[in-house]
Amino acid sequence: MEKEEIVVIGFWTSPYAMRVQIALEEKGVSYHYVEEENIFHNKSPLLLQSNPVHKKVPVLIHNGNPVCESLVILQYIDDVWKDGNLLLSEDPYQRAKARFWVNFFDTKIADCGLRMWASKGEDQEAAKEEFLESLRLLEGELGDKMYFGGESFGLLDIALIPFSCRFYTYEMFCKFSVEKECPKLMEWVKKCNQRESVSKNLPNPYKVYNFVLEVKKKLGN
């Protein structure tokens, strides 16, 4: 059988790229990782060629064929590599529910996350409250389960856990504690970090915070 060529284009602080790396490792799929060196100002020809529409990471290139957008990629990974953990439940309702919560979180975090570190005053405080409300709703969905899918580490876990490396940054800028506000969710974070696929792909939260400080400085905030 001809050897597969699998490439992931990412950026080290991108939780969306981390999703793809975690999913591949949960499946036991070997891949070559390509870091975008200057994602803000000088994107590589490989990225521009592979994702000409959005020009964003992550991109999965499988035998020369690019697949873009993290959730599309996760679905693709589950469809192509049947071995290893199933990312999506075989039950249609559970699949739909997982997709609903991922969409809910992605819609909220893209807006709230930016506002929590880039804005000030009332807008920053409002973003913090929206973010915490989102986490509380997710904590309610998690309940007393080990993972969002029950005993299985699946799509929703993979989609959410990369953002935990940004919690420290949000806490520093907005003066709150995720662990105090959502203790069960933080227990889940610690449980997920016991998985090698997670611990090896999530960057140090302090390093992420320092990176955000540099970005703020460049933006003049």
CATH architecture of 6-80: 3-Layer(aba) Sandwich (3.40)
Give the 3-state secondary structure of residue 107: helix
Mean pLDDT score, 142-161: 96
Distance from C-alpha of 42 to C-alpha of 40, rounded to nearest angstrom: 6
Pick the residue with more confidence: 2 or 144? Answer: 144
Q: Which of 155, 151, 152, 148 is nearest to 23 (CA)?
A: 155
The domain segmentation of the chain, as residue ranges, is: 6-80, 92-219
pLDDT tens string 102-139: 999 999 887 899 899 989 999 999 999 999 999 999 99
Distance from C-alpha of 200 to C-alpha of 33, rounded to nearest angstrom: 13
Mean pLDDT score, 35-55: 94
Q: Which of 28, 29, 31, 70 is nearest to 158 (CA)?
A: 70
What's 92-219's CATH class?
A: mainly alpha
Query: What's the pLDDT at 1?
Result: 47
Query: What's the pLDDT at 109?
Result: 81
